[in-house]
Chain A
Amino acid sequence: MRRCGFVHLLGSVLLIGFVSSVSCEAALTGHESNHSEHEHGSSLSGIPIVTFKWHHVETPYLVALFILVSFLAKLVIEANHHVTNIIPESALLICFGFILGGIIWGADKVQTFTLTPTVFFFYLLPQVILDAGYSMPNKLFFSNMGAILVYAVIGTCWNAASLGLSLWGCHMGGAMGDLDIGLLQYLLFGSLIAAVDPVAVIAVFEQVHVNEVLFIMVFGESLLNDGVTVVLFNVFDAFVSLGGAKINAVEIIKGIISFFVVAFGGSLVGFVFGLLISLLTRCTKNIQIIEPGFVFVLGYLAYLTAEMLSLSAILSIVFCGMCCQKYINANMDENSVNTVRYAMKVFANGSETIIFVFLGISAIDKTLWVWNTGFILLTLLFVIVYRFIGVFFLTWILNKFRLVPLEVIDQVIMSYGGLRGAVAYGLAMMLDENKIKEKNLMVCTTLIVVYFTVIIQGITMKPLVTWLKVRRAAVSELTLIEKVQNKVFDHMLVAIEDISGQIGHNYMRDKWNYFEEKWMSKVLMKPSARKNRDRLFKVFHQLNLKDAMSYVAEGERRGSLEFIRNDHAYIDFKKKFDDDYYEEVMPDIMADMSDDHGEMSSGRRDPVPSVSLEMHEQNMKAVRDSEDVNTHHLLQQHLYRGRKQHRHRYSRSHFDVNKDEGEVQEVFQRTMRSRLESFKSAKMGVAPPKSLSKHPKKEQQQKMSNGKSLDKTRSYYSGDEDFEFSEGDSASGFNPSYNSMPMRVTYRAGAGIENLGFMPDLDSGPSVQLPRWLEDSSSVVPSQRAQVQLPWTPSSLRRLAPLRTSTRSTDSFMMADAPPNAQQIDLPPPPSPPASPPPPPPPHHHHM
């Protein structure tokens, strides 16, 4: 597998090498041949059938190929986790870049693929930063904002200044031989290499899972200090162009002012754009398909606008992402939110990959390399040393103010995690060769620093984290009670602060929350979204599903229906709390799951108790989510599958499913059939002949309940004979009368009866039923009621087995409910009366 991938990769590498060499030659031979060829072609004959127009597609083709190669590289690298566990992916990508660069160099004799600042800053960086901002844990960020700002602003300035000055000092001391670099240029160099790079940092820290405070420190710092470093760079660049002589106090003050204006202006632009996105997504109800597009386009515009106003584009896009995340997540359709999340990751991850490959390729360029041992090694040394000094000193100050001080180990990791990356390289490439004679040396040094930090420090980071026993992040998800407790916490802390009369952190947060709740949410959020975004509910909902899952799993473990009826903790709960817990919690789940039949749900909701309906409404969002997933799933599974007249409607603006009456009917029937099918087979599975002796009790009980429910349904549904569903009904514990004592009594009475007897009527059910459904749609309604409860039938218990590992709980439920059943057309044996002797096993049994 791996080898195959590699061969493939090599193939594409060679291809790209070939292609670029061809392009190069063509470019060298130039216009003339091109022109004559063209003329030649046109004069030769009429219409050429096929022409090879490489130049026509050259640039986009190369870009696409390059991206493809980078992605394939990632694929190969990620194929083997033994390697990525030791060496971080970013380092491997850079190494791959070396190889690729070598090949290109060998083919072209010139490096055609270097990362230009334009490409990097306009096309590769924005999405990475936007993604970081969008998925920023806001609360964590703002509660550590002070520290992050200190590190990002003061730390970066310190790094830049100390590095520049030290290098200059060493230069003066004669450590680097003869170089044409002045103090200002050293400072400029210092400022470009000062910043910790978010791309590199995230790539490494993602794999080590440090605790969240440490993570947000490193992450937040790296994001913000990129902005800072660009600003610093511009200021010093202006100073360099101005020339040392003309710099006076006024210019310096102007520089400092511009620093703040640029930084805060950029943040403000981002904030405004964030609000704009939030507002826009409020009214995109009718164009859901392009809804996610707004986020990307406006985010990019925020970046460009800030750049246009010569404000900090990086800060702008960070804050844009941070501001809008909450509102767009609430405003947009759940599908759109998922799309945004996913697309964001695709872009960010993709461009991260490309950036690293580019970084590797850039090294293979003979014209670039200028070696100056003193300069390079000293830079490397200073970069690391000053990072440590800076972090320790700033933390020492911060710890005097922080309530929870940062520990020494955390400080070590923070310092060591000061990876430099593509931003530094991009800035170095932006240097003006006319003004800075030693540009190439600076670029080389930057590259060496980047390689050293990303590869060496990246590799050693994980062992270091383990060795120092850094507190890792807890990976468990929050349980409901923890969520509740968190809320209690927040309120309690605020209250205590109120009582002790202090305006503290919590106080400010409370006020902000209040303001946010009152004004911002009102303006920026759809009213419907505002109602149901309480996080408690989300967890509650998830928890419900989880319960259902474990319930089903438990049933499966015991392998029988019996358990559902009799001795389960949940039922026990119901008994003990004796306030219809079931009616509150379980139906909600059921309503959820059965919402895949949303179109025909008019009669369905009746059996769901009113309480859960309320819940249902409040939970609309989550429900709608699962509903959509379910609907899609169901339709994929069932809609006209295996039919010739597969009707596929293409629409660019709607993603919805066919809602024809006929189709709905069809879907319904198919589902019903498949459910029947699976139900029956589950029955068979539950009661295989050889296990009879083992579980006599269970079997008997099944029989009894079956018979009983048969009667009941008959009376309920006036002749609609799908008693299987009512069986499911009683099994679900929905109808309390079935699983309580009277049942047991009847079972005792009927003890000793051989129990395969009830199988045939199960088989006969569908064959009797189906024609009727086809001809009469009125019978649909009662069956729906049964359908509501179907997820609780043993069929789903059985079917869940292979699917339980799937991550999406709703999904797996639906899959359990809706097996791909193409073979159910060949339906069961002819009907036989319920009381008939045990028949041979039904023919379709071995399909399963």
Chain B
Amino acid sequence: MRTNYRWISDVSSCCCLCFFSVSPEQIKNLHKRFQQLSDNEETISRENLEKIPALANNPIRKQIIDAFFDKRNQHQNEVGAFQEIGFEQFLMVMSHFRPPTLKTTEEEREAMRKEKLRFLFNMHDTDNDGTITLEEYRKVVEELLSKSGAIGLEAAKAIADAAMLEVASTNVPHMAPDDFYEGITFEHFEQILKGLEMESRMHIRFLDVDTMTMRCGKSKS
């Protein structure tokens, strides 16, 4: 255990740059979780993540898990997928979900936003060709709707198509007859989602469990 913590402090120092708002305690918490998931191994594999019971109901489970093993999310200009990831990589993926703070400057916010968008984009762009093609997008929508039951595959397809059309018509308003909209590029993606306030929404709370239950003990009445 001891060695582990020393290692954590290494990690936290090396991750300080990318991780400026996550405190050492939070990293410790995450590390505990990491070990729990990996059965005290050094690395974590897909199977480990797929075993998480709470995840079973999540329609886009596959995409999320893929994102963890995606080399593009490691900021190292590599492509492809890991078979297993270590804690550092795990942390790196998690760092996409940190919230902005009061001290965050405009530029940092912008950078953060880009980074989060990139993560989201990568999640859609499975073949890593820089565009989300219709096929790829359809897949996501299908998965998204697959749990909804009442809605068929065809409908999902139609929705994806309509969404794609929408993107095309907003980004390339005057399309020549023979133009072909290849798919959503990152720039377009950014353009479309600029209303979503990504930087302040795409985050989770890295705290320990006690405070969480306290805060969320409220219900509707």
Q: Which positions in A face B, CB cutoff 8 Å?
A: 142, 145-146, 149, 264, 267-268, 271, 319, 323, 399, 401, 403-405, 407, 474, 476, 478-482, 484-489, 491-508, 512, 514, 531-532, 534, 536-537, 540, 543-544, 547, 550, 566-570, 572-573, 576-577, 581, 584-585, 611, 614-615, 618
Contact = CB atoms under 8 A, between A and B. Distances in A.
B204 A514 contact: no
B61 to A, nearest CB: 6
Contacts of A573: 165, 168, 181
B168 to A, nearest CB: 7
B205 A504 contact: yes
B58 A481 contact: no
Interface stretch (B5-13, B75-83, B93-101): B93-101
Nearest to B33: A501
29 contacts: A271-B221, A480-B163, A484-B140, A484-B163, A485-B196, A488-B120, A495-B64, A497-B204, A499-B33, A499-B55, A500-B204, A502-B29, A502-B204, A502-B206, A502-B212, A504-B205, A504-B207, A504-B216, A505-B205, A505-B212, A507-B212, A512-B219, A531-B150, A536-B159, A540-B162, A567-B177, A569-B177, A576-B181, A581-B165
B58 A489 contact: no
B92 interface: no
A494 B52 contact: no
Interface in B137-173: 140-141, 144-145, 148, 150-152, 154-155, 157-163, 165-170
Contacts of B99: 403-404
B36 interface: yes
B216 A496 contact: no
Nearest to B93: A496
Interface residues of B, number: 78
B107 interface: no
Contact of A569 (B68, B161, B168): B168
A478 B163 CA distance: 12
B220 interface: yes
Say what secondary structure dominates the interface of chain B: helix
B162 A495 contact: no
Given A403-B99, A496-B94, 15 more contacts: A268-B221, A404-B99, A405-B102, A481-B166, A496-B204, A508-B216, A537-B151, A537-B159, A543-B166, A572-B178, A572-B179, A577-B161, A584-B154, A585-B158, A618-B150
Contacts of A547: 162, 165, 169
Nearest to A477: B195
Contact of B166 (A399, A479, A496, A566): A479
Contact of B196 (A319, A486, A502, A550): A486
Given A499-B49, A618-B150, A489 B220 contact: no
Contacts of B60: 488, 491-492, 495
Nearest to B197: A474
A570 B167 CA distance: 13
Contact of B151 (A401, A486, A534, A544): A534
B189 to A, nearest CB: 9
A506 B52 CA distance: 16
Nearest to A407: B102
B159 A500 contact: no
A614 B150 CA distance: 11
A2 B110 CA distance: 49
B218 interface: yes
Nearest to A269: B221
B2 interface: no
B216 A544 contact: no
B200 interface: yes
B210 to A, nearest CB: 10
Given A536-B159, A577-B161, A488 B140 contact: yes
B58 to A, nearest CB: 5
B105 interface: no
A498 B52 contact: yes
Nearest to B148: A534
Contacts of B111: none
Nearest to A530: B150
Contact of B58 (A498, A504, A543, A544): A498
Contacts of A497: 204
B150 A502 contact: no
A618 B155 contact: yes
A481 B169 contact: no
B86 interface: no
A514 B57 contact: yes
Given A488-B120, A495-B61, A145 B54 contact: no
A517 to B, nearest CB: 10
A327 B159 CA distance: 25
A105 to B, nearest CB: 47
B193 A615 contact: no
B196 A572 contact: no
A486 B29 CA distance: 28
A584 B204 contact: no
B84 to A, nearest CB: 15
Contacts of A491: 58-60, 64, 144
Nearest to A531: B150
A584 B160 CA distance: 12
B151 A618 contact: yes
B213 interface: yes
A581 B36 CA distance: 48
Contacts of A568: 177
B152 A479 contact: no
A405 B101 contact: yes
Nearest to A404: B200
Interface string B108-150: 0000000000001001000000000010000011001100101
Contacts of B36: 501
Nearest to B54: A498
